[in-house]
């Protein structure tokens, strides 16, 4: 009996050990599967997604999903790389400083047409009206305009006004160009022209929006019994405010960067950020109502942090939209990004010569020249790599840029007789491209080494025959 109990205890122990290892193995298997799934997801977002063109992903739904994922990833990356939160804080400061001058110029323009009341009413209907700061702002504007009564802005007042407005718009343009990696800014005359156009567009947008709202209100004012018609009128008025925001943000994303921005790259973030801007105003009004008791404690000072927060969020949304616009238009430039950063010189030279051969063959066959984007799509190559190699060949005057009427992008053709282009000529021009002997007071041993190197290189077809000891 005791032996049977002993065997039973041993069997129970063995079963417990087996169960433990079974559970452990099952959990380990789940962990391995989860890790493989995470690794698979990471590989998709870091490699596979960027190895697939949107138009070759398969169905339209899949292509659209790939485009959306790339836009989100690039926008999030750009948010941190470009430090948009810091730039938005700087812009909100300049905007706060420029509010009164901008409104002063807006009222100066509309006052001549007798429409200054429309602008003031639009301010009262906005987020600023809910904060009860419009009377204060209007007081600043009236005092500002009264210092230059007589019909023209003169003296120190106009200098400060124009400088404040110029600095704000200038910093907005710098922020947009930084996001788009544009180094060259517009000329001073072009900047002044554009900024004046913006100041003229602001009152036009406000007047058009307010005019349509007034027209709708007058049309249904006598139809108080038609409640459904009143609801439609309110819906149309709300839609118009959204539409104006869409149009204004779209115009900003297309016009402000000093580069060519496609319409689709501007309208998508314009609609998204215009909608968010309107929702931000609604949220701000709700916060003001909710914090009504707080204003009793803090008094008029309660509006200051709310105004600063609203301006900061507005500027941040504006910059995020610019980042989205850049991401939508330049997705193809990030294809094979990881591999392009480590590509070998030999493979890069091979692709460059292959592209030159494709261009020369089309030229000899009297076919229309292609753009960098068309070449990349035709040969299934990364657009960024193709653009860089074509620019390199253009800089050494083996290719030339051709602008064809009716086409936005530049095309490429051979700059030399195709029968005179040799691989040696290509390598020689590529090797000699750039600055040489720019080091001042170089050592004599270095100059002597260069002469021996150039002499030996010219005497041998291949450098395999040249030993390092031959240069000593």
How far apart CA 128 and CA 137 sit, in angstroms, is: 9
**Residue 395 located in a structural domain:** yes
In the predicted model, residues of the chain with pLDDT beneath 70 are: 1-11, 13-16, 20, 24, 31, 57, 108-158, 161, 203, 205-230, 233, 288-303, 460-466, 471-472
Q: What is the pLDDT of residue 108?
A: 67
Last residue of a domain, one of 329, 345, 363: 329
**Residue 271 located in a structural domain:** yes
> pLDDT for 211-220, tens place per residue?
666 565 565 5
Range of the domain at 348: 337-433
Q: What is the pLDDT of residue 66?
A: 86
**Residue 438 located in a structural domain:** no
Q: What is the pLDDT of residue 353?
A: 93
Q: What is the pLDDT of residue 157?
A: 61
User: Which residues, including other chains, have CB under 8 Å from residue 429's CB and lie 6 or more apart?
Assistant: 396, 397, 398
**Total domains in the fold of the chain:** 5
Residues 179 and 296 in one domain: yes
**Residue 319 located in a structural domain:** yes
Q: What is the pLDDT of residue 325?
A: 95
Q: What is the pLDDT of residue 187?
A: 83
**Residue 362 located in a structural domain:** yes
The verdict on pTM exceeding 0.85 is: no
Q: What is the pLDDT of residue 275?
A: 92
Q: What is the pLDDT of residue 153?
A: 47
CATH number at residue 409: 1.10.10.10
Q: What is the pLDDT of residue 174?
A: 92
Residues 150 and 215 in one domain: yes
Last residue of a domain, one of 276, 296, 329: 329
Last residue of a domain, one of 279, 310, 329: 329
Q: What is the pLDDT of residue 326?
A: 93
Q: What is the pLDDT of residue 399?
A: 93
Q: What is the pLDDT of residue 195?
A: 80
Residues 182 and 122 in one domain: yes
**Residue 389 located in a structural domain:** yes
């Amino acid at each position: 009996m005791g032996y049977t109990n002993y065997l039973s205890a041993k069997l129970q122990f063995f079963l417990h050990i087996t169960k433990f290892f079974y559970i452990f193995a099952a959990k380990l298997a789940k962990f391995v599967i989860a890790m493989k799934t995470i690794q698979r997801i990471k590989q998709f977002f870091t490699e596979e997604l960027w190895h697939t063109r949107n138009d070759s992903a398969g169905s339209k739904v899949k292509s659209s999903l790939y485009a959306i994922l790339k836009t989100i990833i690039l926008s999030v990356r750009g948010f941190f790389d470009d430090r948009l939160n810091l730039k938005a804080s700087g812009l909100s400061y300049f905007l706060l400083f420029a509010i009164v001058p901008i409104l002063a110029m807006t009222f100066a323009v509309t006052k001549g047409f007798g429409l200054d009341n429309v602008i003031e009413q639009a301010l009262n209907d906005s987020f600023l009206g809910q904060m009860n700061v419009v009377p204060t702002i209007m007081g600043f504007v009236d005092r500002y305009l009264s210092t230059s009564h007589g019909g023209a802005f003169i003296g120190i007042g106009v200098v400060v006004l124009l400088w404040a407005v110029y600095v704000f718009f200038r910093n907005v343009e710098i922020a947009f160009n930084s996001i788009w990696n544009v180094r060259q800014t517009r000329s001073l005359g072009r900047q002044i022209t554009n900024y004046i156009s913006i100041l003229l567009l602001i009152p036009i947008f406000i007047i058009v929006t307010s005019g349509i709202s007034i027209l709708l209100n007058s049309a249904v004012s006598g139809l108080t019994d038609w409640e459904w018609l009143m609801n439609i009128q309110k819906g149309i008025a709300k839609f118009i405010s959204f539409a104006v925001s869409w149009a204004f943000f779209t115009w900003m994303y297309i016009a402000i960067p000093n580069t060519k921005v496609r319409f689709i790259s501007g309208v998508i973030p314009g609609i998204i950020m215009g909608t968010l801007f309107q929702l931000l105003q609604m949220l701000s009004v709700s916060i003001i109502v909710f914090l009504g008791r707080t204003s009793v404690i803090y008094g008029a000072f309660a509006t200051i942090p709310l105004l600063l927060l609203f301006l900061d969020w507005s500027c941040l949304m504006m910059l995020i939209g610019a980042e989205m616009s850049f991401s939508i238009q330049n997705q193809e430039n990030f294809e094979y990004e990881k591999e392009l950063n480590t590509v070998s010189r030999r493979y890069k030279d091979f692709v460059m010569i292959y592209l030159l051969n494709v261009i020369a063959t089309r030229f000899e066959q009297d076919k229309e020249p292609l753009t960098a984007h068309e070449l990349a799509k035709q040969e299934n190559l990364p657009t960024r790599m193709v653009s860089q190699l074509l620019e390199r060949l253009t800089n050494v005057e083996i290719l030339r840029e051709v602008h064809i009427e009716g086409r936005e992008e530049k095309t490429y053709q051979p700059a030399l007789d195709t029968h005179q282009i040799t691989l040696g000529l290509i390598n020689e021009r590529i090797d000699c491209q750039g600055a040489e002997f720019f080091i001042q007071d170089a050592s004599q041993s270095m100059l002597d080494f260069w002469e021996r190197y150039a002499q030996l290189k010219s005497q041998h077809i291949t450098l395999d025959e040249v030993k390092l000891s031959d240069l000593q």
